[in-house]
Amino acid sequence: SQTIHQWPATLVQPVGSPLSLECTVEGTSNPNLYWYRQAAGRGLQLLFYSVGIGQISSEVPQNLSASRPQDRQFILSSKKLLLSDSGFYLCAWSSSRALVEQFFGPGTRLTVL
């Protein structure tokens, strides 16, 4: 069965510090991968998605970037965090053969102070 991991689970960072969140998927190959942010208002905002190694699509301009160095690894980064980057970050995957339901990881709660 497929499993998706995210770490760290929680993170408190000062403004201006760098960020690296990692997501890995097990039990499937060539998945589509997604990064979402959920701010205090509960809505889910798609940040990035990837259909393959090195292929990243950005949904909104922001202070963040994403990379996919390996087939089942997806990384969310920032060089300098802003207060507005605080939120709950969720990674998700879906089958590349059928772009339907996405399965989500446990999330990372980021607080920027």
Partner 1 sequence: AQKVTQAQTEISVVEKEDVTLDCVYETRDTTYYLFWYKQPPSGELVFLIRRNSFDEQNEISGRYSWNFQKSTSSFNFTITASQVVDSAVYFCALSGTGANSKLTFGKGITLSVRP
Residues that bind partner 1 (CB under 8 A): 41-44, 46, 49, 51, 59, 88, 90, 92, 99-107, 109
CB of 101 to partner 1, least distance (A): 5
Closest to partner 1 by CB, 51 or 53:
51
Residues 104/23, Cβ–Cβ less than 8 Å? no
CB of 16 to partner 1, least distance (A): 26
Q: For 5, how many CA atoms within 13 A lie in the half-sphere containing its CB?
A: 9
* Separation CA 109–CA 84 (nearest Å): 13
Residue whose tokens read 């995210």 = 6
CB of 91 to partner 1, least distance (A): 11
Closest to partner 1 by CB, 15 or 57:
57
How far from the centroid of its chain's Cα atoms is residue 9's Cα?
12
Peptide bond just before 18 cis, omega within 30 deg: no
CB of 107 to partner 1, least distance (A): 4
Closest to partner 1 by CB, 2 or 18:
2
